[in-house]
Homo-oligomer: A and B are copies of this chain.
Amino acid sequence: MENRARVLIDCEDAKGLVYKISKVFYDRGLNIDNNREVVDKERKRFFMRTVVTGIFDAKELQDELKSAVSKDAHIKVIEPKNKKIILMVTKESHALGDILVRHSDGELDADIECVISNHNVLGTLVSRFDIPFVCIPADGLSREEHESRVMATIDKFKFDYIVLAKYMRILTPTFVEAYETKIINIHHSFLPAFIGANPYKQAFERGVKIIGATAHFVTNDLDEGPIIAQDIIPVNHRLSWRDMQRAGSDGEKIVLSRALNLVLHDRVFVNGNKTVIF
């Protein structure tokens, strides 16, 4: 029976890579359904995402590609299936609600393991969708104590990604390192403008004519991880900062869901502090 898999290759650039890789597919009689590649000339890295169909064993194909390319190459052969995600939220419902509706519709190639929040405001919304909601209040706890409780909950699950769908607490380096390259955040500004707290108020005070939203991987520099997707919304002098917040929330949820879909479809490579999106 025919298989279908995504082949992801991230390796040092070299002459003949496309030939060597396509030879493996050719020799095995596989069909290339879709192929994208790019070379980062500065960093001398080669990135490729190919969808192949045919009769093959994923593990074997992966090993053979590794032999053909280089043993230092990062190569994954992924058979499409739902990934597991954990959502973290605080009080705002728009980004969470957008993901819940997409999930309930089967539009998202993901299973939501649970939703974790530092407040109970969103418990009702989550329960409407029959998804576990874990409220871990931070009151009276140090940042470290609170986070260790959150991590204890997270670690009960097997998961691929943690999605911060407007989780309004700053994460410690311990947390970020524990789940490196697995945390996706939506920041409610057009990064790198308005890093940090209350970007809409900052945007209002600066008098910008366009506001934005940025989905990115989380690293230990505040709002500085590799950017996955951005979008903008025009504003004008008639909007208060609360109006900007309201207008911006549409952009936030669309950008986060778009970034999440890219990640779930294995279309995102991290390349230093940037991303390659296929």
A positions within 8 Å CB-CB of B: 15-19, 22-23, 25-26, 29, 31-41, 93-94, 97-98, 100-102, 104-105, 107, 124-125, 128-129, 190-194, 206-210, 212, 226-232, 234, 236-238, 240, 246, 250, 254, 257-258, 271, 273-277
- One of B94, B237, B254 near A38 (C-beta < 8 A): B237
- One of B26, B128, B207, B246 near A227 (C-beta < 8 A): B207
Q: How far is the CA of A208 from the CA of B124 in the complex (A)?
A: 36
Contact status of A25 and B19, CB under 8 A, knowing A39-B34, A125-B104, A193-B190: yes
5 residue pairs, one from A and one from B, having the closest CB atoms:
A207-B274, A97-B101, A19-B26, A193-B193, A19-B22
Verify B207–A230 contact, CB threshold 8 A. no
- One of B128, B229, B237, B246 near A129 (C-beta < 8 A): B128
Q: How far is the CA of A29 from the CA of B14 in the complex (A)?
A: 12
- One of B40, B101, B210, B236 near A101 (C-beta < 8 A): B101
List the B residue with the shortest CB-CB distance to A14: B31
Q: List 16 A-B contacts (CB under 8 A).
A: A16-B26, A33-B39, A34-B39, A94-B101, A97-B101, A101-B125, A190-B193, A190-B210, A192-B206, A206-B274, A207-B271, A207-B275, A208-B230, A209-B228, A209-B230, A237-B277
Verify B18–A18 contact, CB threshold 8 A. yes
Contact status of A105 and B128, CB under 8 A, knowing A19-B25, A25-B19, A250-B254: no
Verify B227–A206 contact, CB threshold 8 A. yes
CB distance from A14 to the nearest CB of B (A): 10
Verify A207–B226 contact, CB threshold 8 A. yes
- One of B38, B97, B234 near A238 (C-beta < 8 A): B38
